[in-house]
Amino acid sequence: MVGRQAGLVVLSEADRNFLESQVRRHKAPRSLSDRCRMVLLCAQGLQSKDVAERLGVHEHTVGKWPPVHTRWH
């Protein structure tokens, strides 16, 4: 069974840098760094199913992140 494709995610360089910095921060809440990882993986074109498998979460969790037009910072 094929997982559903995550929505098209296009990140500016600034957004990508911000998300990557949040993933690397040791003091960032786990939920924030997990969400940043999800967005970065979706931006690589991975299906929700693959992102969920890599991060050990349910596929529906991957689909809950904010729409692309939402500012990350």
54 within some domain? yes
Total domains present in the chain? 1
In the predicted structure, residue 70 carries a pLDDT above the cut 80: no
**pLDDT, position 10:** 83
pLDDT single digits (tens) 26-64: 887 888 888 999 999 988 988 889 999 999 999 888 877
Q: What's the CA angle centered on 21, arms 52 and 19, to 5 degrees?
A: 45
Under DSSP, is residue 47 helix (H, G, I), strand (E, B) or coil? strand
6 within some domain? no
71 within some domain? no
Tell me the residue range of the domain where 58 lies.
13-62
- The answer to whether the predicted template modeling score (pTM) of the entire model surpasses 0.85 is no
